[in-house]
Amino acid sequence: MDRLLGAADSALRTLFAQSRAVRPVPEAIESETALTLEERRQAASLMRVNHVGEVCAQALYTAQAAATRDPALRGHLERAAREETDHLAWTRARLDELGARPSLLNPLWYAGAFALGLVAGRLGDRISLGFVLETERQVEAHLAGHLDRLPAADLASRAIVAQMKEDEAVHASQAAVAGGVELPAAAKGLMRAAAKVMTTTAHYI
């Protein structure tokens, strides 16, 4: 019951509360020039996708923490979720600065990611950690792609995404050290396909 209440609380805070970062928002070294309307739209679409990714990260880690019976692993997953809260707060703050809204489908994304996290958790701790490992690898690659697509003049968004990419690499490494196993190629492909649907939709909605 405590885990269920904790999971419900996490969902409500992620979807409806103002997330608060522990670390300050990453700042660009150079002064930013004004963005054109088209650059603002492009940046907003990409940062909305990144915000959705952080909503899903909260759901995944919360579900996997609830599913494991290992207190040490639960603590590891809960710490990772807290660290990802910085990303959630940063991306939402940047959306506000760009005058853009988060995805209207965030409750759906959260529910889907939570279900995946529960399934991964039920398959065993090493597979659950392997799921974290593969997820973070794919997210790191996705963020690298966004650094290529973000307007060159949008130094604020680029600084945030660069720090997020660095953090995701650390989380992947931690999952591997903790015992995460490599997932089958088919599972990795399904994860990429699901992520593609999410990112394509969230770009607009």
Q: What whole-number distance in Å separates Cα of residue 83 and Cα of residue 88? A: 9
DSSP 22: S
Measure CA of the first residue to CA of the last residue in the chain; give whole Å.
34
Per-domain boundaries in the chain: 36-202
Query: For the residues 151-173, what does the mean pLDDT come to?
Result: 93
Residue 84 — pLDDT band, cuts 50, 70, 90? confident
| H or E element at residue 64 | helix 37-67
Share of the chain above pLDDT 90, in %: 46
| H or E element at residue 128 | helix 125-149
pTM summary value: 0.88
Domain 36-202: CATH superfamily, name plus number: Ferritin, core subunit, four-helix bundle (1.20.1260.10)
Q: What is the pLDDT of residue 154?
A: 93
